[in-house]
Amino acid sequence: MAPRLLNHIAAFLPACGPPVHDEARPLSRSILLPMLLAILAFHVCTIRSGHDWGGDFSQYLQHAKNLVEGRPYAATSYRRTPETAHLGPAYYPPGFPLLLAPIYRVWGLNFFAMKLLLVGFLVASLVLIHETFKTQLSTRTQTALILLVGLNPLLWDFKDQLLSDLPFLFFVFLALRLMQRAVRPASHPLLGMWLGIAIGLAYSTRSVGLALAPILPLCEFVARRRLSRASVLALTTLAVWIAAQAALLPGAGGYLSLFRLDPASVCRNVVHLGVAYSVFWDNGYVLWGRLLVYFCVLLLALVGYARQARRRCGPLELYPLFYLLPLCFWPFPQGYRLVIPLFPLAVGYGLMGLETLLARLDGRGRKAVIVAGVALLLATYLGKYGSLPFGEIPVGIERPAARELWSQLATWGEDAGTIVFRKPRVMALLSGLPRPAGEGDRRRGAIEVSLARARRRGRGRKRLRGGRGA
């Protein structure tokens, strides 16, 4: 249904030559490697010390700490209540904690080393993004794709948050690249095993990675009305992977247990996803400039997507559809995080749409469009970088006041009672207080969380209350 609809859309577009390049040459290593090294150096040299107060990172780190110390994976010292369900699931998938565990084992809570890991995944993702689009874009637009994604100010800022999204981006494009190879008629069947592992890694990093599973079978069924051995092996490998994870770490399924069918929430998520994508084009100053770039890129991306889908509906074309579907039912808003895997695709299809537009123009028109586009993107990126701080994270968990709080809590030890704190998971990780014995246990040493912010005076202020066991 979706490919047929896209064919109808593409039929109204003026014929101007194929937007994809069957004989396109990938970037030479003499260009690609220095560009990747420059992006890597920029991100490494601008890593900011400290970390913000977001709670997700602390739960990932607590899982990693438990893996290193041999404790139960779910023992996070954080008591989840109905009032705090919006913070996230009781347990996160184990993929990202497993990546953090070796760093924690060697260096402890070394945020710099962990951020280096994220930068490495970002640059490795650029390699896979280039491999994915190298036969569909010219060498100039391949260069633009890598620069626009690798130097995006939002992703630059995001590397300083210890979250699973950049590793997830890598595993998504690893799976998509393997699908592109597996969908060929002469592909090796064992490629399916590696594809199943790649999808399993994506699923173990973020549960929405399961949306990758039906893409290759659907592509093959549409093209040949049957499944190849590679596709069957991929699904079998993925099933074994999921079963093994469920057996070794029961309950570590992320947000899957929180999904609810709520029409109001679906409508809210659809609007939210559209707004979230526009954040990637924020210039730091004026909203109209952000919206201008957003709609221009979105329109070009739709043109490029429709053209490509009309020519051949492959894994790249199906992935946004399968990925966006569960996001519409996502239990809680997560800002632009959920759109990160789609951002390179939108840029890539936008560049395809730009090539489609340029093919219709004469030399002077092409030059004018290119100059205007480069000026607009430079203003957007430089403006946003100019509004971002490059120094130490100003309000973070390693500031002197925060360190004093953790030191004070550490002295309480077994005398700590029930504690109410606005950032419970951060406190659970850094306070060093004993772990609660169970969900219903309120003995000394338990940490209970409540974030009914609207009911409390002084909304937005951190509140701490300590005493003997409740």
What φ, ψ does residue 261 adopt, rounded to 5°? -90, 95
Q: Which range (76-90, 139-153, 177-191, 198-212) has the least confidence?
A: 76-90
Instruction: Give the DSSP per-residue string, 402-424.
Output: HHHHHHHHHHHGGG------SSH
Residue type, 399: R
Residue type, 96: F
Check residue 226 and give its pLDDT: 81
Check residue 453 and give its pLDDT: 36
| Eight-state DSSP code of residue 91 | S
The residue count of the chain comes to: 470
* pLDDT tens digit sequence for 57-100: 888 888 898 889 888 887 776 666 655 555 667 778 899 999 99
CA-based nearest residue to 446, from 457, 456, 458, 433 = 433
Average pLDDT on 13-42 reads: 70
Residue type, 121: F
- How many whole angstroms from its chain centre is CA 436? 31
Q: Most distant CA pair in the chain: distance in Å?
A: 79
Check residue 124 and give its pLDDT: 97
Check residue 397 and give its pLDDT: 76
- How many whole angstroms from its chain centre is CA 269? 17
CA-based nearest residue to 431, from 77, 117, 148 = 77
What φ, ψ does residue 79 adopt, rounded to 5°? -90, 110
* pLDDT tens digit sequence for 277-305: 899 999 999 999 999 999 999 999 999 99
Q: Which range (32-41, 123-132, 384-393) has the least confidence?
A: 384-393
Task: Place 270 in a pLDDT band, splitting at 50, 70 and 90.
Answer: confident
Pair 51, 396: CB distance under 8 Å: yes
Taking the CA atoms of 51, 53, 55 and 61 in sequence, report the sign of the dihedral they define. Answer: positive
Q: Which range (88-97, 146-155, 382-391) has the least confidence?
A: 88-97
CB atoms within 10 A of CB 28: 9
Pair 160, 57: CB distance under 8 Å: no
CA-based nearest residue to 273, from 348, 347, 325 = 325
Residue 456 has pLDDT above 90, yes or no: no
Pair 280, 154: CB distance under 8 Å: yes
Check residue 178 and give its pLDDT: 94
Among all chains, which residue has been given the structure tokens 């992006």? 39
C-alpha to C-alpha distance for 83 and 85, rounded to whole angstroms: 6
Q: Which range (10-14, 46-50, 425-429) has the least confidence?
A: 10-14
The share of the chain scoring above pLDDT 70, in percent, equals 78
CA-based nearest residue to 348, from 58, 101, 129, 42 = 129
Pair 228, 187: CB distance under 8 Å: yes
Q: For residue 125, what are the CA distances in angstroms to 94, 102, 146, 164, 169? A: 20, 21, 10, 13, 7
Among all chains, which residue has been given the structure tokens 């569909």? 136
C-alpha to C-alpha distance for 417 and 253, rounded to whole angstroms: 31
448 versus 111: which is more confidently predicted? Answer: 111
12 versus 94: which is more confidently predicted? Answer: 94
CB atoms within 10 A of CB 71: 14
Average pLDDT on 430-457 reads: 41
Check residue 261 and give its pLDDT: 67
* pLDDT tens digit sequence for 224-264: 788 888 888 999 999 999 999 888 876 555 555 555 666 77
Average pLDDT on 413-419 reads: 60
Average pLDDT of every residue of the chain: 79
The alpha helices in 70-190, defined as continuous H runs, are 95-107, 111-133, 139-150, 153-158, 165-182
pTM of the full structure: 0.83
Pair 95, 268: CB distance under 8 Å: no
- Could you tell me how many helices (H) and strands (E) the chain has, helices first? 18, 0
Pair 137, 91: CB distance under 8 Å: no
Task: Place 265 in a pLDDT band, splitting at 50, 70 and 90.
Answer: confident
CA angle 259, 265, 267 (to 5 degrees): 130
Paired strand residues for 179: none
